[in-house]
């Protein structure tokens, strides 16, 4: 027993040696070829598509439920990438009336739910109305132009939806699993039916969709799985099962990936990829998501209620350096107020670059010639936000802005920024690939606070342009409105945008067909493992 | 076991529900002192609509006065109903039934390792004061005590699993492709043995050893140091000299007189260590992907998910109270002079 310390010494010596030698675990063949092993640090919370509000649940349901339309893909430099455009999916064809109000969906024949019932026009109407009746998460966007009487069954395979006003959002929303999922009326009714305003316990733990995968065993805290649906209408998936392993430690995830015991790892901290450079078996799969990693300023709180102070803040920050320090340079540095995958994005109306002289003179004009003291907040445990705050602190110091860093627990953080109680905070998100939705929730003054405009930003001109965009259908007009909005917002500098939210996956080279969508959807149907 | 002793035990057992209610009350208050609204946290983006938030708050009774909310919780608690998680809509009792066996199994193996390593090392060190054995074990125990367990866990995984490939895959209770035994107690060792799946039994034991060892190290350090100190002190007592003088064999003196007395303070420490194992260890659970109570507890706090936090707290408190009772009982067995009134 007393030899333990010696043993420890040996262990440590081996660590040092191993670091030098490097692990040679190259595996010439695909391990577990029909099972995709996915390392995650979270788990889904709810399997009811019309009640979910979290990404993890959405990613599972993307594969078990289907929608009338779905985001399409395109080829970019020999790589398949997802787009923000929709194409028919459970619908075979869509007719839109000239006034943009009536949508007629012609459904595919012979599509079956996992339980064996056929998906028909009744199921579509039932699903849309169920979402409206539950009035949980996803319904808020769609209830602006759909009512419970909007959807009409024309015949067994035809559905007509009459919007209360034309909306370019409608088809996009029907592509979202939480807004557009088609559920089986028989199954829902057999398990309690629809109770307005309330979730359904059975639906939150079970699945009966039309998707290529069914829900397998769920061992809370440990693992969960998607199992192939052999009767899928496009043919059985190539993978027999997608096994998700909950591993909260990224070091452990990385080691498993390197040894080929995991095939994909979600959101490995980018700096860890240093260990993957030169590894022939592992590749990085990255894409821009719909969201900005940013330092929010409270536009109602002094001194950030002063536009010059906010502009000085942006001239003092070096987002490229933060990208390198925090995202290892994998992210796309911000050049506008909105994420680059969105329709109408332009990098041509971006006035900022690092300019300390300009920052100081703006501060002086605002009455802060000697700088000022403020606080920046993030939720404890989030290392991306922590590192961002630290980098920003050093940069802002040079312009005379003295920032104190505060980390607080998540619930406190959320209520503080929603209620506008903190001057600066680091926050990033992922949203729908719909430019109207992004602009309304982030910048419209009717959405101050919890509704998404956490900066409490107000510009009536911006509000008016966003309102105009909601009914604009002509491409040129839309582009010019979206460009004008960006110019105004960039100039107002309500927030300090650092980089585009990053979709970031490390995967074994043998994983083929894994496509990243700007909307953040996960579709496993085309995925397979081969060398 | 006299009647005073049984009265003592009954009294302590009767106190248990009172302690549990007290603990849940304090936890409930603390949870509500944290600024934040579980309904909004759970709705996330969807919390943009105040009507939706209000509906969720109403559904879960969060719009009622605090004292009513607490009384309702207690009313359910006394009927054995721990409530539902707001986040997952799953019953807390079901969740705990899943996480607890993982924690208990890990705790039990880790405790066994503490006893197996700590007691012999402590006794040896105390009996051979100031020899090389003593110095080595003292330095080692100091090292065990002061080394962060998750760091040791990381090293163990890096070297044992990744570089040498001798330790099991750090994917929690079983390997990536293993299928757990049919659920019976939730303890994989027991369930696999019951099902006669001996290969699975061994793999499950194999997966237990690394985290259990990591978890045990700090306790081993503590036990060694305590036991050594007591042994050194007791071996100098007059009654030891008397026992030796009256010609008792050294073995009898050592085990019957010295060790038995030296164990009393150590038992207190062991009791606390044992009980604390039931609270789980977030860092070790994180590193080894162990689905234990600790992570469940911490995650529930992050979402202000009241029922799981209260349920887990009550459970951990119950474990502490029970183990303390067992410790008190064992005093009487170790030292006949200790009486309970």
Cβ neighbour number for residue A155 with a 10 Å cutoff: 10
Whole-prediction pTM value? Answer: 0.85
Give tens-digit pLDDT for A76-89: 888 898 988 899 99
pLDDT at A13 over 60: no
Closest CA to A503 of A413, A451, A433: A433
Strand segments (E) across A179-337:
213-219, 223-228, 241-246, 264-266, 282-297
Q: Which residues pair with A453 in a beta bridge?
A: A448
HSE at residue B103, side-chain half, CA atoms within 13 A, is 27
For residues B198 and B191, give the distance between their C-alpha atoms in angstroms, rounded to a whole number: 10
Contacts of A305 (CB under 8 A, 6+ apart): A299
B128: three-class secondary structure by DSSP: coil
B62: three-class secondary structure by DSSP: coil
What domains can you pick out in chain B, each with its CATH number?
Answer: 13-78 (no CATH), 98-293+317-334 (1.10.3720.10)
User: What part of A 423-462 touches B (C-beta under 8 Å)?
Assistant: 429, 431, 441, 447, 450-452
Structure tokens at B9: 């035990």
CA angle (B149 as vertex; B146, B154 as ends), nearest 5? 130
Q: Which residues of chain B have pLDDT under 50?
A: none
Chain A residue with CA closest to B52: the answer is A136
Q: How far is CA A127 from the centre of its chain?
A: 24
Residues of chain A with Cβ-Cβ distance to B178 below 8 Å are none
Structure tokens at B226: 């305590």
Give tens-digit pLDDT for A99-145: 889 999 999 999 999 999 999 999 999 999 999 988 776 676 788 88
Biggest CA–CA distance in chain B, Å, is 86
Give tens-digit pLDDT for B214-236: 999 888 999 999 999 999 999 99
Q: How far is CA B14 from the centre of its chain?
A: 23
User: What part of A 169-228 touches B (C-beta under 8 Å)?
Assistant: 197-199, 201, 204-205, 219-223
- pLDDT category at A166 given cuts 50, 70, 90 is confident
Chain A residue with CA closest to B95: the answer is A220
Nearest-by-Cβ selection for B155 from A11, A248, A256: A11
Read off φ and ψ for residue A420, nearest 5 degrees: 65, 40
For residues A491 and A310, give the distance between their C-alpha atoms in angstroms, rounded to a whole number: 10
ipTM at complex level: 0.83
Residue A31 is classified by DSSP as S
Under a CB-based contact definition with an 8 Å cutoff, are residues A210 and A111 in contact? yes
Residues of chain B with Cβ-Cβ distance to A5 below 8 Å are 136, 139-140, 143
Q: Tell me, what's the pLDDT at A495?
A: 97
For residues A54 and A520, give the distance between their C-alpha atoms in angstroms, rounded to a whole number: 12
Q: Tell me, what's the pLDDT at A220?
A: 83
User: Long-range contacts for A13-22 (Cβ within 8 Å, ≥24 apart)?
Assistant: A14/B159, A14/B163, A14/B164, A15/B155, A15/B158, A15/B159, A15/B163, A18/B158, A18/B159, A18/B162, A18/B163
Q: Which residues pair with A162 in a beta bridge?
A: A102
Give tens-digit pLDDT for B243-255: 889 988 988 888 8
Burial class of residue B262 (count of CB atoms within 10 Å of its CB; 0-12, 13-18, 19+): buried
Tally the residues of chain A.
531
For residues B150 and B288, give the distance between their C-alpha atoms in angstroms, rounded to a whole number: 9
* Residue A518, min C-alpha distance to chain B (Å): 18
Q: Tell me, what's the pLDDT at A137?
A: 63
In DSSP notation, B248-270 reads --HHHIIIIIIIHHHHHHHHHHH
pLDDT at A1 over 50: no
A2, A206, A406, A419: best mutation site toward chain B, by most B Cβ within 10 Å?
Answer: A2
Q: Tell me, what's the pLDDT at B316?
A: 86
- pLDDT category at A154 given cuts 50, 70, 90 is very high
Containing A403, the helix (H) or strand (E) segment is strand A401-408
For residues B185 and A239, give the distance between their C-alpha atoms in angstroms, rounded to a whole number: 33
For residues B135 and B123, give the distance between their C-alpha atoms in angstroms, rounded to a whole number: 13
For residues A427 and B254, give the distance between their C-alpha atoms in angstroms, rounded to a whole number: 64
A186: three-class secondary structure by DSSP: helix
Residue with tokens 């259990």: B212
């Amino acid at each position: 027993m007393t030899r333990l310390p010696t043993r420890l010494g040996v262990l440590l010596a081996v660590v040092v040696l191993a670091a030098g030698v490097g692990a040679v675990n190259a595996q010439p063949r695909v391990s577990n070829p029909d099972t995709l092993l996915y390392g995650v640090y979270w788990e889904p919370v709810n399997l009811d598509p019309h009640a979910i509000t979290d990404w993890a649940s959405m990613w599972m349901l993307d594969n078990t439920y289907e929608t009338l339309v779905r985001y399409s893909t395109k080829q970019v430099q020999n790589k398949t990438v997802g787009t923000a455009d929709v194409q028919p999916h459970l619908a075979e064809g869509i007719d839109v009336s000239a006034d943009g109000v009536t949508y007629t969906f012609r459904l595919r024949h012979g599509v079956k739910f996992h339980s064996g019932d056929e998906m028909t026009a009744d199921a579509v109407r039932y699903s849309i109305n169920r979402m409206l009746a539950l009035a949980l998460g996803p319904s808020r966007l769609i209830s602006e132009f759909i009512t419970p009487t909007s959807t009409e069954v024309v015949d067994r395979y035809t559905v007509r939806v009459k919007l209360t006003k034309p909306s370019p959002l409608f088809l996009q929303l029907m592509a979202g699993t939480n807004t557009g999922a088609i559920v089986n009326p028989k199954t829902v009714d057999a398990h309690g039916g629809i109770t307005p305003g309330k979730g359904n316990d059975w639906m939150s733990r079970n699945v009966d969709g039309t998707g290529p995968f069914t829900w397998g065993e769920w061992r809370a805290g440990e693992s969960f799985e998607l199992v192939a649906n052999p009767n899928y209408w496009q043919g059985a998936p190539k993978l027999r099962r997608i096994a998700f392993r909950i591993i909260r430690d990224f070091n452990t995830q990385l080691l498993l990936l390197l040894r080929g015991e995991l095939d994909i790892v979600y959101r490995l901290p980018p700096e860890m990829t240093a260990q993957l450079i030169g590894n022939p078996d592992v590749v990085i799969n990255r894409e821009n998501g719909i969201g900005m990693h940013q330092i929010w300023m409270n536009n109602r709180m002094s001194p950030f209620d002063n536009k010059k102070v906010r502009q000085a803040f942006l001239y003092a920050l070096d987002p490229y350096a933060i990208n390198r320090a925090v995202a290892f340079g994998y992210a796309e540095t911000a050049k506008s107020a909105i994420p680059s995958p969105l329709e109408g994005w332009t990098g041509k109306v971006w006035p900022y670059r690092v300019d300390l002289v300009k920052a100081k003179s703006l501060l002086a004009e605002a009455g802060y010639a000697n700088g000022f003291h403020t606080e920046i907040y993030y939720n404890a445990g989030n290392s991306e936000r922590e590192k961002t705050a630290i980098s920003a602190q050093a940069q802002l110091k040079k312009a005379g802005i003295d920032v104190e860093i505060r980390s607080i627990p998540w619930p406190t953080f959320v209520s503080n920024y929603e209620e506008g109680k903190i001057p600066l905070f680091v926050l990033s998100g992922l949203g729908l690939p719909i430019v109207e939705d992004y602009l309304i929730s982030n910048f419209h003054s009717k959405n101050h606070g919890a509704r998404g405009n956490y900066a409490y930003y107000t510009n009536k001109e911006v509000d008016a342009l966003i309102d105009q965009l909601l009914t604009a259908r002509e491409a040129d007009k839309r582009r010019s409105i979206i460009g004008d909005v960006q110019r105004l917002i960039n100039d107002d500098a309500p927030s300090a945008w650092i980089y585009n939210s990053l979709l970031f996956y490390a995967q074994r080279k043998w994983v083929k067909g894994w496509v990243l969508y700007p909307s953040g959807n996960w579709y496993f149907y085309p995925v397979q493992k081969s060398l | 076991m006299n009647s005073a002793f049984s009265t003592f035990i009954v009294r302590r057992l009767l106190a248990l529900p009172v302690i549990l209610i007290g603990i849940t009350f304090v936890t409930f208050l603390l949870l509500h002192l944290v600024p934040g609204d579980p309904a909004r946290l759970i709705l996330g983006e969807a919390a943009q609509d105040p009507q939706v938030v209000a509906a969720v708050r109403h559904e879960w009774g969060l719009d009622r006065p605090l004292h009513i909310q607490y009384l309702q919780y207690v009313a359910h608690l006394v009927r054995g109903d721990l409530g539902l998680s707001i986040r997952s809509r799953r019953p807390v009792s079901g969740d705990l039934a899943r996480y607890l066996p993982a924690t208990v199994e890990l705790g039990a193996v880790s405790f066994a390792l503490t006893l197996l390593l700590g007691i012999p090392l402590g006794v040896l060190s105390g009996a051979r004061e100031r020899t090389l054995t003593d110095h080595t074990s003292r330095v080692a125990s100091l090292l065990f005590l002061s080394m962060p367990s998750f760091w040791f866990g990381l090293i163990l995984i890096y070297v044992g699993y990744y570089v040498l490939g001798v330790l099991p895959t750090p994917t929690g209770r079983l390997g990536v492709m293993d299928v757990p035994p049919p659920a019976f107690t939730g303890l994989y060792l027991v369930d696999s043995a019951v099902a006669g799946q001996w290969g699975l039994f061994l793999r499950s034991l194999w997966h237990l050893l690394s985290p259990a060892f990591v978890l045990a190290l700090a306790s081993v350090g503590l036990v060694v140091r305590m036991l050594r100190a007591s042994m050194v002190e007791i071996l100098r007592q007059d009654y030891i000299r008397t026992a030796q003088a009256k010609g008792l064999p050294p073995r009898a003196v050592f085990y019957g007189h010295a060790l038995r007395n030296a164990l009393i303070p150590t038992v207190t420490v062991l009791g606390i260590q044992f009980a604390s194992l039931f609270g789980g260890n977030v860092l070790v659970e994180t590193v080894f992907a162990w689905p234990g109570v600790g992570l469940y507890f911490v995650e529930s706090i992050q979402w202000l998910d009241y029922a799981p936090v209260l349920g887990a707290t009550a459970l951990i408190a119950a474990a502490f109270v029970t183990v303390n009772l067992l410790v008190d009982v064992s005093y009487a067995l170790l030292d006949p002079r200790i009486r309970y009134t």
